[in-house]
Amino acid sequence: MSIIWSMTWKELLRKRVALLTALMTIVFLIAFWFIASTLGNEVRDYGLSESDPMFAIEMFARGMMILSLGFFFGAFVVAFLAIFSASSVISGEAELGVMQALMPRPMPRWKWYVGRWLGYVSFGMLYALMLFAAILIIGDIHAGVPRDPMTLVVAYLLFASVVPLLVTLSMLGSTFFSGIGNGVFMTMLYGGGWLGGMIEKLSSQFVSLQEGRAGIGGDSLSNISGLLSLAMPADGLQRMMLDRLFNISGITELVGDNTGGMLMLFGVGAAPAPAFLWYALLYTLVAFGIGAWRFQRKDL
């Protein structure tokens, strides 16, 4: 299993997916630096003294905006890596004849499957850690960011939790579709989950769209967003991460429910219930089990 794990890392480092992800990350961080610099410098233009409590409040508010923007787009980069790194792991290697060379050896199929899964997940979570740290560092340079170690650890785990979810689904899809077909299917599924989250965020901003206040239309939107979020929980996990990072519940107790509309669009203040995390975990475990079962019986 460890051999398959290390082989997966070597393949990922040679693939164009890793190169494209690195280029996307560099471009994203450069653009994010200038955006954070612009937003952070606006507070200093107010003429507030650094000893003024209002300066600290404004810097933290700008930090929320900067980090929300950074993690909003950073989540897409992490999803891109997780989806396309594993989209052709089974169907693609079967077409190239790699499976036929490996499977006759005295190694159970489930060990190959788990080794591949561990390789993709560990690689993706390490990348997510580096991106998470880079976004926090840039946000800290130009504004204020949370510094509680436990808060940061929980936020990172939630941010990176989409990696095992998407890798598991991508490997499962690879038992049904070709590499390209699976990549397209996973991209559409991820986009559907994102759309469901966006509908929920917009509904929370407009009273006329909220459930029970717009007749059949409002209820239909709520049902659609709920079904899309259940079909792909990635966006809900992202919103939970932002909620834990900024301690939105604590801020709401202090200043009331005054989260800005722009921040709501990036997921701040729109976190699902804690039970959603258990649903995402069960969802991943079931998908992993079905994928391993499918691969065990797949004709290579």
Q: Quick one: tokens of 286? A: 């079931």
Sign of the alpha-carbon torsion through 274, 275, 276, 279? positive
The pLDDT > 70 percentage for the chain reads: 76
Average confidence (pLDDT) over 113-142: 92
DSSP category for residue 104: T
- Return left, alpha or beta for 268; rule: phi > 0 is left, psi -120 to 50 is alpha, else beta: beta
In the block, which residue shows the tokens 């407009």?
206
Query: The pTM is what?
Result: 0.85
C-alpha to C-alpha distance for 233 and 225, rounded to whole angstroms: 11
pLDDT(76) > 60:
yes
Average confidence (pLDDT) over 205-210: 53
Rg (CA), the chain: 21
- List pLDDT tens digits, range 19-48: 888 888 999 999 999 998 888 777 666 666
pLDDT recorded at residue 255: 47
Helix (H, G, I), strand (E, B) or coil at 45: coil
> Which of 7-11, 49-53, 163-167, 209-213 has the highest average model confidence (pLDDT)?
163-167
Sign of the alpha-carbon torsion through 101, 102, 107, 113? negative
- Share the mean pLDDT of the chain: 80
- List pLDDT tens digits, range 157-172: 999 999 999 999 999 9
C-alpha to C-alpha distance for 105 and 40, rounded to whole angstroms: 58
C-alpha to C-alpha distance for 167 and 165, rounded to whole angstroms: 6
Contact (CB, 8 A) for 4 and 103:
no
Q: Quick one: tokens of 82? A: 């997780």
pLDDT recorded at residue 269: 57
pLDDT recorded at residue 96: 57
pLDDT recorded at residue 228: 86
Return the amino acid letter for 183: G
Q: Quick one: tokens of 118? A: 């561990």
pLDDT recorded at residue 187: 92
C-alpha to C-alpha distance for 53 and 71, rounded to whole angstroms: 27
pLDDT recorded at residue 254: 47
> Which of 75-84, 102-111, 215-224 has the highest average model confidence (pLDDT)?
75-84
Q: Work out the burial of residue 158: count CB atoms within 10 Å of its CB; fewer than 13 is exposed, 13-18 middle, 19 or more buried.
A: buried
pLDDT recorded at residue 46: 65
